[in-house]
Chains A and B, each alone.
Chain A
């Protein structure tokens, strides 16, 4: 019985450390609801720390292609994310048009994008540190000039 308890403690200790590491940067949350026939409903929670790790598994060829497509936008995104980290709780953009509502803000160090329309709702929450990691990794993948 003692052995079982020790094994359980060891296993959960490992799980805790792994869980704490995985979730220390928070989670990326994606919620998409399309209120129409055949519309998609996507609800996803992804540990933010997993994204930069997963990017290491993406073949360099595909990363370079992604960088190629976003060559102009990448430095801008990088600069914006880097600066936004200094502003963890601000409303940046809000558009209200009839029953449509779009809001872009930072909240607790996360970029939050909410789109609410009669036929669809999109909520996106991404830690700025994750965006910073991703843009940095993409920049590093760029072929040197």
Chain B
């Protein structure tokens, strides 16, 4: 082989070798770092249902908590938790008879009843309202305490309440409730407002909070 050809072959081989050596480095260099930020898509591809929790504290520190959980993930993970009263996605309750009131019978009565207000209490310290409206169970509590005025609003689709009580006696089926929730439209489930905190729990198809 001539010197010229030999030199060319050598250079080509060395260049190829250098390129091969550099490629993993280049690939690594393109790997996003831990600090890289990205903008998550606002709507997930296959219309997943997301449960969002947001807590905003109005104190000086301005504490904010944002939690976004895919309902499907919660549905799959809950049965894996076996701790204390929670087993197989169901939670045992000893208080099915709260103050001699059978919760299951009460839920059954509400399910079959027409829309309307079931409980209205207007006191000096609290206002309480329990109602059924457009197939939703609505609970509204206004605490008029002098030191800490708070307002709680809960709006749960009746199908979810049904699913929750669909397990055996003295059990709440959380997985069934989540499954029923995934079929519900975008809705605000819980809203708590007081002097210090604002809490919101809601359901939609976005994988980010507002």
Chain A residues packing against B (C-beta within 8 Å): 1-2, 4-6, 8-9, 11-13, 15-16, 19-20, 23, 26-27, 29, 31, 72, 75-76, 78-80, 82-84, 86-87, 89-98, 105, 107-108, 112, 114, 123-125
Q: Is B95 an interface residue (CB 8 A)?
A: no
Q: Compute the total of residue contacts between A and B using a CB distance below 8 Å.
A: 129
Q: Which of B12-20, B102-110, B153-161, B175-183 contacts A (4 or more CB under 8 A)?
A: B12-20
**Across chains A and B, which 4 residue pairs bring their CB atoms closest together, nearest first?**
A5-B13, A12-B17, A123-B34, A19-B24
Query: A87 → chain B, closest Cβ, in Å?
Result: 6
Say yes or no: A97-B61 contact (C-beta < 8 A), given A29-B33, A89-B38, A91-B66: yes
**Bound Cα distance from A86 to B45, whole angstroms:** 11
* CB pair B68 A27 closer than 8 Å: no
B1-29 contact mask (Cβ, 8 Å, vs A): 1 or 0: 10000110110111011101101100110
A71 to chain B, nearest CB (A): 10
Report B208 CB to chain A, min CB distance, Å.
Answer: 6
User: B: which residues have CB within 8 A of A?
Assistant: 1, 6-7, 9-10, 12-14, 16-18, 20-21, 23-24, 27-28, 31-36, 38, 40-41, 44, 48, 61-70, 72-73, 76-77, 79-83, 207-209
Contact: A95 with B36, CB < 8 Å? no
Closest B residue by C-beta to A104: B67
Please, which residues of chain A bring their CB within 8 A of the CB of B67? Answer: 92-94
The answer on a CB contact under 8 Å between B9 and A76 is no
The reply to whether A2 and B10 contact each other, CB–CB distance below 8 Å, is yes
Q: Are B32 and A108 in contact (CB under 8 A)?
A: yes
Given contacts A29-B34, A76-B81, A89-B40, contact A83 B76 (CB under 8 A): yes
Task: Report the bound CA distance from A97 to B32 in whole Å.
Answer: 26
**Which residues of B have CB within 8 Å of A15?**
20-21
Tell me which residues across on chain B come within 8 A of A112, comparing CB atoms. 34
Q: How far is the CA of A37 from the CA of B96 in the complex (A)?
A: 55
Of the candidates B7, B17, B23, the one having the most CB atoms from chain A within 10 angstroms of its own CB is B17
Measured CB to CB, the closest approach of chain A to B14, in angstroms, equals 6
Is A95 a contact of B16 with CB atoms below 8 Å?
A: no
Question: Are A12 and B21 in contact, CB atoms less than 8 angstroms apart?
Answer: yes
Q: Nearest Cβ in chain A — how far from B89, in angstroms?
A: 11
